Each structure stands twice: as structure tokens, then as C-alpha cells.
């Protein structure tokens, strides 16, 4: 087992007793996840057989620390307000405007507004407001949406005046670089990403000389993909859109005409835009995902169990396999963190539990053992329910922690 998971099991065994059945059941669940990890890491499969699916956690990791999906929508919502009221706030820059609203504190009207709001609904607010502002002229409102999302996506970088890359040493020790190494070592040919940013391509191209990670984001690219990505190690399919920041088209070997095409600004953001795309099965954005799921052994990284894009993906996987007979076996794996489950159930972070901090480890009264056991049983049941749900949708969960994820990638065979 990974280091932090092992330590967590030891904390449970110390609290309940090493021979306690609840403690044994939890350890067994993590041992099963460890076996799945070894299975996913096995060498011996052919060139290009492995494929990756990337979620927001990839770009949120050190040293880039881009915003989460939730934060992106909140920033974009505030940025949309700025775009619509540019005349009245013109004396304030976009970054200053966002800082004013973002930093008012927990009692601010903006913080209260976002609490508990449905993210899909928030995305609809953004699109509808821009449509109205641009009199439903599609190119105009999509271009406006693209600009606002671009500013919001890289807000934290620009807010720190850091447009350039982090130092090489920081990048080399980060999650993205470890993924780049696996892609090169395992000769991965396809990556499906739901991220708009160019973090992966930037890091891969920086450390691999003339070999490239080639971003695909418009339909016309697929017509000439073989010849145009001939010098690339891996194609990175941005199925929800692409907003590069660190690299230009020449750096990535992409023709400028693709960046200037109308499709390049067609971002998938709201539930409405997602449903319209999902219902048109012939679109490359759908076809490439289905093809990858059916032809490759896939590993999903950077998703949370409650990730909105992950829920969309689950629905796609259900549709992809619904016509396949029962003899077809899928070997797809998803790395999922237990950090939030622990925080919500044990009311302590996993780091605090390790250090002996928190009610769970500090309550010495033997009469509280049943309460602790109930917490652990509930935690185990939550993981069991999520495992059952994921298995139904052709995914094997590998339970880990945010801290251990980097070590898993570093030690990938």
C-alpha cells in the first residue's frame, strides 16, 4: 500500500485494535485497491495500448496550481459581469475587479451567492447573459465567452504576475512531469483531456526536444492528423476546448489556421452545450472518447468522485458499452483520493490523523469505541458503494490520497 494509506490503516488499528473486524475490513479494501494499482502498472502491453484521461486535478497540482472547475466557473461568472458592465467599471482592471469581489471574505455577497449553487446552472447564467449581450450572434458571444474563460482560467497566475513557467526544478518534481515520463516510457499515443489549458503539452515539449505532445481541438485537424502529428509522441485531445497560455502554435507544431477557425472558440461549458454535443454522436469530440475507451486500457487521473466532468464521463461510458455483449471485459482504472471522505466523516484531515490530532485519535474513553467503529464502518460502506457504482460503469477505483498520487506516478513501472 502507499505510505499515507498504510499510515491511515495504522491509525484505525490503534484506535480500534489490530484484530478488530472493522479495522481488518478497511485494510482489506485498501489492499484490494493496491492489487488493482499493480495490475494497472503492469508492463508487457503493446505500444499505444495504454491511454490516459485527464481531469482538472492534473493542472491544479504543483507547481502550476491552476483553479478547480468550481473556481473557474465562479471566476468566469464574475468575469462575465465585468464584460457586461465594462462601461461602469472601466477604471478598474479585470484582475483588480476579480480581486475586489473574490477577497471580500466569507460574509461577502459573492461568497454567499456561490454557496450551494449548482455549477451547471451557473454556467447557463454565463452563456445566456453573453448571448443576450451579443444579440445571439454566435461567433460574437462564443468569442466573448472564450476571452472571459481565458482570463479566469489563468487568473491566479496573472494575479501573481507569473506568465512564465515555474523553475525547471519545480516542474521536474511535479505531477505533470511524472505523467510525461510515463507517456514517453509506455509509448502512450492518446490522451483525452477535459482541461482547457496547455500545461501538459508545455511540460512535455519542454523536456523532450523535437518530440512533441500535439494538441487536437478542431475537427479539421483529424483529416490531416497522421501527417501533421508525425513528429509527435502523443496526441492530446481537448474534447471540451483548448485555451493555450504558455505556448504558441509554432511551439506545438499546430497550424495557425486551426487556432483561427470558428470551432476553436466553441468551448463546452454549460449543461446545455454538453448535451448538444453528446447527442451528436458523429462529432469527433464524442467519437474519439468512445474509440479510446473501446481500444485502449485507460487510466483516469485528476478526477474527484464528485467532479462534474467525471459524472459526464460516466454517462458517456454507459452509452459506449451498452451494446457490447457480456463477454467483453474492460480494464479501465481511476485514481481517486480519499482525502475529502476522511475530512467529512472523521472531521479531520488525513494529515491530522497521522499526527494524532483530532477527536478520533484523542478520545481515550473506551465507551467511545463504538462511535469510532461506526465512523469507520460508514467510511468503508461509502467506498464500497462508490466502488460498486464505478464497476457498473466499467471502472476500477484505486483509492489513494492527494499526497500519495505523486509517489504512485514516480514509481510507475
Place of cell 454522436: 281
Of 98-102, 220-224, 402-406, which gets the smallest average pLDDT? 98-102
pLDDT band at 355 (very low <50, low <70, confident <90, very high): confident
Specify the 3-state DSSP secondary structure of 300. Answer: strand
Give me the chain's average pLDDT, please: 83
- Flag whether pLDDT at 6 surpasses 60: yes
Residue 327 clears pLDDT 50, i.e. is over it:
no
In this model, does residue 16 exceed pLDDT 60?
yes
List the Cα angle 411/244/229 in 5-degree steps: 70
How far is CA 273 from each of CA 124, 137, 267, rounded to the nearest angstrom? 9, 16, 8
Is the pLDDT confidence value at 314 over 90?
no
Q: What is the pLDDT of residue 155?
A: 79
CA distance 9 to 30: 9
Burial class (CB in 10 A: 0-12, 13-18, 19+), 46: exposed
Give percent helix, percent strand, percent coil of the chain, each to the nearest 5.
60, 10, 35
Q: Is residue 413 predicted with pLDDT exceeding 70?
A: no
> Is the bond preceding 63 in cis, omega lying within 30 degrees of 0?
yes
Contacts by 351-354, CB closer than 8 A, 24 or more apart:
351/403, 353/8, 353/11, 354/4, 354/7, 354/8, 354/11
Contacts of 228 (CB under 8 A, 6+ apart): 214, 221, 253, 254, 255
Q: Are 386 and 311 in contact (CB under 8 A)?
A: no
Model pLDDT for residues 275-288, shown as the tens digit of each residue = 888 777 788 988 89
Enter the DSSP assignment of 236.
E
Q: Are 231 and 90 in contact (CB under 8 A)?
A: no
Reply yes or no on whether the pLDDT at 75 is more than 60.
Answer: yes
* Three-class SS state of 212: strand
pLDDT digits (tens, 9 = 90+) for 88-137: 555 556 666 666 666 654 445 566 677 777 877 888 988 998 899 889 99
Contact in structure between 58 and 176 (CB atoms under 8 Å)? yes
**Model pTM score:** 0.89
Q: Which residue has the higher pLDDT, 247 or 398?
A: 398
**CB–CB of 253/229 below 8 Å?**
yes
Q: What is the pLDDT of residue 161?
A: 46
* pLDDT recorded at residue 27: 95
* 328 pLDDT more than 60: no
Distance CA 300, CA 282 (A): 24
User: Is residue 322 scored above 90 in pLDDT?
Assistant: no
Helix (H, G, I), strand (E, B) or coil at 54: strand
Question: Do 217 and 266 touch, CB atoms closer than 8 A?
Answer: no
What band does 22 get if pLDDT is binned at 50, 70 and 90?
very high
DSSP class of residue 67 equals P
Distance CA 147, CA 191 (A): 25
Query: What is the mean pLDDT of the segment spanning 203-230?
Result: 86
Query: Measured between alpha carbons, how far is 302 from 193 in angstroms, rounded to an integer?
Result: 10
Amino acid at each position: 500500500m502507499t505510505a499515507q494509506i498504510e499510515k491511515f490503516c495504522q491509525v484505525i488499528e490503534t484506535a480500534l485494535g489490530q484484530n478488530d473486524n472493522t479495522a481488518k475490513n478497511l485494510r482489506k479494501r485498501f489492499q484490494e485497491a493496491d492489487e488493482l494499482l499493480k495490475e494497472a502498472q503492469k508492463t508487457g502491453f503493446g505500444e499505444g495500448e495504454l491511454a490516459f484521461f485527464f481531469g482538472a486535478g492534473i493542472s491544479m497540482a504543483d507547481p502550476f496550481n491552476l483553479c478547480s472547475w468550481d473556481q473557474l466557473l465562479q471566476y468566469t461568472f464574475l468575469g462575465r459581469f465585468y464584460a457586461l458592465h465594462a462601461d461602469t467599471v472601466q477604471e478598474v482592471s479585470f484582475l483588480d475587479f476579480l480581486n475586489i469581489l473574490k477577497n471580500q471574505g466569507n460574509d461577502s455577497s459573492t461568497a454567499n451567492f456561490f454557496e450551494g449553487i449548482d455549477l451547471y446552472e451557473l454556467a447557463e447564467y454565463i452563456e445566456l447573459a453573453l448571448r443576450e449581450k451579443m444579440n445571439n450572434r454566435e461567433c460574437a458571444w462564443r468569442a466573448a465567452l472564450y476571452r472571459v474563460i481565458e482570463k479566469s482560467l489563468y487568473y491566479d497566475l496573472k494575479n501573481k504576475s507569473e506568465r512564465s513557467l515555474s523553475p525547471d526544478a519545480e516542474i521536474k518534481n511535479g505531477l505533470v512531469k511524472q505523467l510525461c515520463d510515463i507517456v514517453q516510457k509506455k509509448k502512450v499515443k492518446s490522451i483525452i483531456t477535459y482541461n482547457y489549458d496547455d500545461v501538459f503539452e508545455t511540460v512535455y515539449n519542454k523536456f523532450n526536444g523535437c518530440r512533441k505532445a500535439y494538441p487536437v481541438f478542431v475537427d479539421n485537424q483529424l483529416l490531416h492528423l497522421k501527417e501533421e502529428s508525425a513528429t509527435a509522441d502523443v496526441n492530446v485531445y481537448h474534447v471540451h476546448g483548448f485555451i493555450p497560455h504558455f505556448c504558441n502554435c509554432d511551439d506545438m507544431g499546430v497550424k495557425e489556421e486551426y487556432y483561427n477557425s470558428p470551432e476553436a472558440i466553441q468551448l463546452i461549458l454549460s449543461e446545455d452545450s454538453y448535451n448538444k454535443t453528446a447527442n451528436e454522436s458523429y462529432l469527433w469530440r464524442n467519437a474519439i472518447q468512445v474509440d479510446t475507451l473501446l481500444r485502449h486500457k485507460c487510466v483516469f487521473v485528476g478526477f474527484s468522485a464528485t467532479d462534474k466532468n467525471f459524472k459526464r464521463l460516466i454517462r458517456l461510458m454507459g452509452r459506449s458499452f451498452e451494446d457490447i455483449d457480456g463477454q467483453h471485459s474492460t480494464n479501465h482504472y481511476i485514481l481517486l483520493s480519499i482525502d475529502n471522505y476522511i475530512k467529512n466523516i472523521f472531521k479531520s484531515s488525513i494529515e491530522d490523523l497521522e499526527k494524532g490530532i483530532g477527536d478520533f485519535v484523542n478520545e481515550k474513553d473506551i465507551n467511545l469505541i463504538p462511535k469510532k467503529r461506526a465512523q469507520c464502518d460508514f467510511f468503508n460502506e461509502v467506498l464500497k458503494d462508490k466502488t460498486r457504482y464505478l464497476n457498473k460503469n466499467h471502472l476500477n477505483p484505486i483509492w489513494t490520497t492527494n499526497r500519495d498520487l505523486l509517489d504512485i506516478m514516480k514509481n510507475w513501472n
